[in-house]
Structure 1
Amino acid sequence: MRIFVLLIGVLGTGVLLWLGIWQMQRLEWKEGVLAEIEARITAAPVAVPQTPDPEADRYLPVAADGTLVGPEVHVLVSTKLRGAGYRIIQAFETDGRRMLVDRGYVDVEDKTKARTAGPVSVVGNLHWPDEIDSFTPDNDIAANTWFARDVPSLAAHLNTEPVMIIARDVSPNDPSLTPLPVDTSGIPNDHLGYAVTWFGLAAVWVGMTLLFLYRGRRKPA
């Protein structure tokens, strides 16, 4: 019996340690991916490609001169420093094209305030956010309250290409807007937590194995 317990203890500990090591390897890989994305985000901006690809051109830094036109779309968002508010998304006409621009954040009470439009220079990054899951409510089009930046839906609503620039800088600047540029904070990286969990379970497994072996050695009174 003690040999069986020891065997299970060794095998279980080995599996749990292997899972922890694997998660550390995944952590190293994920940090490398995030570093590559950060480098891409902050690279020198280029012109918007004629046919941007949602995968190949994700996070591509771009610069364009054009005109903000038409109505706004208000997408509900929450920030750490200012709480709930809205992203302001608007159509942007440039070089005979019409695309989307995420201009930035306004507080809830500023949703309906007038904002400057017209000719601007935009520097930002192309992005196709994946913000819809089974818990996302349907957009309230009548109240102009959207709950996700679904590029195809926004493009159909504002009659643009399914291309969106997340603004990093808009000139001239509207002081009521705070840009929310693309970064890697929304990309999950939980591998360290998983590794700690597996290593912790390995320690518990060793402790339980030793406890069983100790109890097995005790003779009845």
Structure 2
Amino acid sequence: MLAQPPVPAPGPDRWPAIGKDDVYRPVVVRGHYRTGADTLVQAVTELGGGFWVMTPFDTDRDFTLLVNRGFVPADRRTGIAPSPAMQSIRGLLRLSEPGGAFLRTNDPAADRWYSRDIAAIAARRELGRVAPYFIDASDPRSGWPRGGLTVVRFRNSHLVYALTWFGLAALVAAMAWRVRRRV
């Protein structure tokens, strides 16, 4: 999926059908950033600790979505305003991350964010109706914020499957032993 050419970002008519099969789908969207509405979400990347910069993007198709413009170190949080000019954004579609992180919950009132929770960020920034997904920008430029740092992880349930089948095999063996013992 990652090697596929980007498709247009899903519009409001497709939002109800977006699910786990759409994660990491390359997308492209045209529009402009809404300045002064950045949300900084705590992050740890290969570049160290800092923040993801989530910025509302008003598309030319009359809907708004959040774009993860990339990572900034904690000491570089100022001077990162996006250009309000019309532009195209390429990136990977990602689903909302509601709630927070391990042992940390988002605190919208204090503007403290530990996960990229689209609904909570949209409510806090009074963005109105926003796409239920965000885009991880794939622009690995040298300045800040630095995009292209998405870590692609697909769910691996092999251990769960193995434990289930070994457990079932042990249960069958125990039941067979019990039946044989009674005979």
TM-score by length of 2: 0.69
Provide the C-alpha distance between the structure 1 equivalents of 2:147 and 2:123, rounded to a whole number of angstroms: 24
Match of 1:41, SS state, is coil
CA contact (8 A) 1:89 1:103 kept: yes
Provide the C-alpha distance between the structure 1 equivalents of 2:155 and 2:9, rounded to a whole number of angstroms: 28
The residue number in structure 2 matching 1:60 is 25
Q: Identify unmatched segments of 5+ residues in structure 1.
A: 1-39, 196-221
Provide the C-alpha distance between the structure 2 equivalents of 1:75 and 1:114, rounded to a whole number of angstroms: 14
The alignment-based identity, stated in percent, is 25
**Shift of the alpha carbon at 1:190?**
7.2
CA contact (8 A) 2:80 2:144 kept: no
Task: Please say if 1:157 is aligned against 2:157.
Answer: no
Equivalence map 1:33-182=2 (5 Å): 40-51=1-12, 52=15, 53-55=17-19, 56-70=21-35, 71-79=37-45, 81-95=46-60, 96-119=62-85, 120-130=87-97, 132=99, 135-139=103-107, 141-142=109-110, 144-158=111-125, 159=127, 160-162=129-131, 163-169=133-139, 175-182=143-150
The residue number in structure 2 matching 1:16 is none
CA contact (8 A) 1:48 1:64 kept: yes
- For residues 136-157 of structure 1, give each alpha carbon's deviation from its aligned partner in whole angstroms, at most 9, with x where no partner exists: 2332543x33111112212223
**Compared CA separation, residues 62 and 188, structure 1 to 2 (3 A):** closer
The structure with more strand, counted as a fraction of residues: 2
* Number of residues of Structure 1 aligned to a counterpart in Structure 2: 154
**Compared CA separation, residues 140 and 99, structure 1 to 2 (3 A):** closer
Aligned-residue Cα RMSD (Å) equals 3.0
Structure ranking higher on relative contact order (CA contacts 8 Å, 6+ apart): 1
Provide the C-alpha distance between the structure 2 equivalents of 1:98 and 1:136, rounded to a whole number of angstroms: 28
**Compared CA separation, residues 43 and 141, structure 1 to 2 (3 A):** farther
**Shift of the alpha carbon at 1:113?**
2.9
CA contact (8 A) 2:56 2:66 kept: yes
The structure with more helix, counted as a fraction of residues: 1
Q: Identify unmatched segments of 5+ residues in structure 2.
A: 163-183
**Shift of the alpha carbon at 1:164?**
1.3
Match of 1:169, SS state, is coil
TM-score by length of 1: 0.58
Match of 2:24, SS state, is coil
Provide the C-alpha distance between the structure 1 equivalents of 2:49 and 2:27, rounded to a whole number of angstroms: 28
Match of 1:127, SS state, is strand
Provide the C-alpha distance between the structure 2 equivalents of 1:138 and 1:47, rounded to a whole number of angstroms: 30
